[in-house]
Structure 1
């Protein structure tokens, strides 16, 4: 079986975590939201309603959805199932988050993958830290990794070594300081591929060399305006080539996607996404994507 080495092929199998397992209840949210640097306290009922809307969209397009269990060792951020692992064609790499509070999530993931007999090809240990949101497959032989506060040089060295037989081009993308060390800025904050030759981007924070590289590779760039960037307009999940889902309230980006021939689904993501802040790519960990669209 071949696992995910693409961001855009038809999504077949995905791992997610529901609010009832991550947020637990309103009392738990009240105690924890500031510690995890949420914008404000989410409403638990609203979060469940929003998530049900999101999962309904996924179920129409994704054959297999695996749910992470509740765990006493993980916190609110575990809702964002993308970050603790990254899949390659041969299996999963267990990561070690650059946010210390999130590091226990890897243990829960490892147990789930072992239970499902999903191969693990490597694991970050020691001083190496990386989040899945910093690791982007530009195509099935090109891997881009963001170097920022969540992913360090030692992790990049180890990931490059782990993927050397699967990757022809390994690109390190320096990330800006932007809003500082406490805020979450991933490479996937700046780019979402929605087809092999189409990407939603926020160019203002993107290194010039990387933007030029994307254009040289024939990738058309859909530019997200600043206001919509802060509303997660740049965070778009491809369910299949040019079939995607995004947080509602980003009309300019949505229209540009539609003008490019994309089918766009929306969900209200105020409590589960914006307050977090993690959009649909953050909420999902693709395991298998099938080629052929």
Structure 2
């Protein structure tokens, strides 16, 4: 049985597709987040690899600053599935963040990008 890439499926319904991540690259949708028009973040972990991140940067172009967030090794396999396990946008410049698992470099980068952060776990 042949499984089509998501890109092939998207091309059936949408006119333009910016690009496609191909093997050996992998990219999980939950590992990608736009911060604003010129900033985005991607999680490097079990579902997204460095080859996929490299392809994503080429698709986005170098006008977009892409922050790679190395996802922590969780105590339990379900702790951090992907980047969206750490951050959830709730408005244009506001996000809930799980600081326990967010690397300090990511939090600092978000703040420099103008994002307001709310620690969802206290």
Give the TM-score of the pair, scaled to structure 2.
0.83
Change (3 A) 1:110 1:210: closer
Question: Matched residues in 2 for 1:129 and 1:109: separation?
Answer: 12
Q: Which residue of 1 aligns with 2:48?
A: 151
Q: Please, which runs of 5 or more residues in structure 1 have no aligned partner? A: 1-71, 74-103, 227-293
Mapping of residues 172-187 of structure 1, within 5 Å? 172-179=68-75, 183=78, 185-187=81-83
Question: Matched residues in 2 for 1:164 and 1:135: separation?
Answer: 15
Of the three residues 4, 7, 21, the one matched with 1:124 is 21
- RMSD value, Cα: 2.4
- Do the aligned residues in 1 keep the contact of 2:39 with 2:113 (CA within 8 Å)? no
Q: Which residue of 2 aligns with 1:216?
A: 112
Change (3 A) 1:127 1:179: farther
Q: Larger % of helix: which?
A: 1
Change (3 A) 1:179 1:185: farther
Give the total of aligned pairs. 121
Of the three residues 82, 98, 101, the one matched with 1:205 is 101
Q: Please, which runs of 5 or more residues in structure 2 have no aligned partner? A: none
Question: Matched residues in 2 for 1:160 and 1:140: separation?
Answer: 14
Question: Matched residues in 2 for 1:189 and 1:129: separation?
Answer: 18
Deviation at 1:108, TM superposition (A): 6.7
Change (3 A) 1:110 1:164: closer
Larger RCO, structures 1/2 (Cα 8 Å, 6+ apart): 1
Change (3 A) 1:152 1:137: same
Deviation at 1:164, TM superposition (A): 0.6
Structure showing greater Rg: 1
- Do the aligned residues in 1 keep the contact of 2:98 with 2:120 (CA within 8 Å)? yes
1:114 correspondence with 2:11? yes
1:162 correspondence with 2:55? no
Of the three residues 81, 84, 91, the one matched with 1:188 is 84
